Amino acid sequence: MKKPRIVITEPDWLPDGVEDKLAQVFDVCKGPFLPQDLAPALNEAVGVLVGLDHVLKGDALPVTLKFIVSPTTGLNHIDLDQAGRQGIKVISLKGETDFLQNITATAELCWGLVLSLLRRIPAAHTSVMNGQWDRDHFKSRELQGATLGVIGFGRLGKKIAHYGHAFQMRVMICDNKPLGVEGAQFTSVDMQTLLKESDIISLQVDSRPDNYHMIGEAEFQAMKQGALFINTARGDLVDEAALLQSLQDRHLGGAALDVLEQEYDSDKAAGSLMAWARDHENLIITPHIGGVTYESQYKTTHFVVDKLLDWYTAHD
């Protein structure tokens, strides 16, 4: 009997053992695929395992598709409305709070960006590679005693807050829910207070329609002069034109971004921000590498594949 087909869009990051698990049930078809080649590859497939290198829009979802698997918490690379209309099951990490407590990759990257931006580490390295040894040029500030503002006190926001506490920072939290027992050691404030008083701001909220461009011109203007802004959440949370203007006006001291609003379209991805980053050391941009560690990808991919196999066995 012929096995149903599953497509793996980006096998380069696939951890050991995942393909073998899937091959027990499915005929595995692997990429990599160019964007224009993905839709034809999905013809007659019952499912697809996709990461963040492809966007699954309505025209890429064939009628045969029964499930989409993504080892991510954010799902803005999937057309959820169309998937719902077609009755396609979306299996991901969203809502898997207990499991995700042991996934630290994105929080660790965020803290690395905090230190890199504050201590100007990338610029210092480039300076040495260019034959210079000018330590006084890179005099900076310490985290101890500075104020960290964390917008969003979910899984990642909590980790960032605890990192700040470990560095002896004053930690302020803005969230629309009570902080609970775990947040007792931090200060709960409204958004305006956080923006006004924070030396470093970390954005840690979900991407959803009511959060679109939640950090825009008014928010950047409300930030303390010279503040640093870190976004490792999702690009569409930030008005990038307003961010760039704040950098150009020298109001914002610097920014570090692991996500961009148009990151799935390399021709559109924040051209002005890229241009600024090339010539100014106070903007660091990384290619959405928050979850890209061997440990994280192994745990998360096996987890969602096991979820898939349990679901498929029950519904086949």
Distance CA 44, CA 290 (A): 33
* Residue pair 305/22 in contact by the 8 Å Cβ criterion: yes
* Residue pair 231/203 in contact by the 8 Å Cβ criterion: yes
Q: For the purposes of burial, counting CB atoms within 10 Å of the CB of 130, is it exposed (0-12), middle (13-18) or buried (19 or more)? A: exposed
- Residue 100 neighbours by CB under 8 Å, 6+ apart: 73, 93, 155
Distance CA 193, CA 209 (A): 24
235 closest CA partner among 286, 197, 280: 286
What residues act catalytically? 234, 263, 288
- 8 DSSP assignment: E
